[in-house]
Structure 1
Amino acid sequence: MPSSVISEAPDTHPACVSHGATLTFETLSPAPARPRRRAGEDTLLRVIDGTVSLTLSGGDQRLDVGDEAIIPAGMDHRLQGVGGSARVVMGFRPASR
């Protein structure tokens, strides 16, 4: 696990790595989420099953199937399933300068 990650869920499955970018599938539980941060990588998140609560800068946003969010490198955030488990695909790439 890269040192830039605060925490990563145990149900995380790397799919591929290419040109410095990584694609990961993850199942999120409805349990209270721990904070995350990827210091050197931007994150693109897409919900593929269920509903996700994304907390950024203290505000919560609800994401449904097909919704996407971009989380800039270094930003603390939390992800958790709403009303049950949810699945997301996340792409990580080196932060834009």
Structure 2
Amino acid sequence: MGGKPSVAALAVATESASSGADTSAASVRFGMPHALVIIACIVTAAILAPADMGVDDVLLLLSGAGSIGAAIVVVVVNGGRRAGRIGRLVRAYFSAGN
């Protein structure tokens, strides 16, 4: 009962402890560059908005711009083959020279 753990138990414990530092793209934390992309989309929408918009329209515009910024961040973070249709659409758009 009070003996040393087996070699197999030590190997499993060491492997699970070392695999905790996952550096894959899926584990990227939300940082300042991500926030700046979303803020840039919202500021651009606010600057391009007409001056005589109602409050409802302004809120709809800002929420749409924030959603677009968040979608851009998600596509970029999940890039590669895992991005799916949206990623392929974005890559096709930029590779066409637009």
TM-score by length of 2: 0.21
Higher fraction of helix: 2
Higher fraction of strand: 1
TM-score by length of 1: 0.21
Q: Which has the larger radius of gyration?
A: 2
